[in-house]
Structure 1
Amino acid sequence: MTRADLDKRAELTVWPGQGPAHVAQGHEFPTLRQALAAAAEAIDAGDAQPWIITEDGDILSPRWIRANTGSSRLQ
């Protein structure tokens, strides 16, 4: 993933950590940077499992998101 990828579109789906899987919330974002920020907020706010699909078709797992959403990495 490059810095240019952060400015491409992305779709975030937040699955509940517990509960029925059919309760997922999906949102499109104009940039991957915004999707990552929203995913980090969902993780911090509760027991959420965010997944991101990038414009290029990459799938970012909750583990990847947790490992790569430090404040300096989103700049």
Structure 2
Amino acid sequence: MTRADLDKRAELTVWPSQGPAHVAQGHQFLTLREALAAAAEAMDAEDAQPWIITEDGDILSPRWIRAKVAAGRLQ
């Protein structure tokens, strides 16, 4: 993933870590950077499992998101 990828569109789906899957919430973001920030907030506030699909079709798992956010690689 390159820095340019952070400026492409992304879709974030937040799944509850516990409970029925039918309550997942999907959101469109203008940039992957925004989607990653929202995913980090969801993990902290809701103990959720966020998944992101990038404009190029890459699927980012909660583990990948957590590692990138923790390393401060959102710039």
TM-score, length-normalised on structure 1?
A: 0.96
Moved over 6 A (4+): none
RMSD of Structure 2 on Structure 1 (CA): 1.0
Paired with 1:17 and 1:72, the residues of 2 have a C-alpha distance of 23
Structure 2 spans left out of the alignment, 5+ residues = none
Query: CA shift at 1:71, angstroms?
Result: 6.8
Unpaired segments ≥5 residues, structure 1? none
Identity of aligned residues (%): 85
Aligned to 1:63: 63
Report the count of equivalent residues: 75
Distance 2:52 2:72 in 1: 19
The normalised TM-score by structure 2 is 0.96
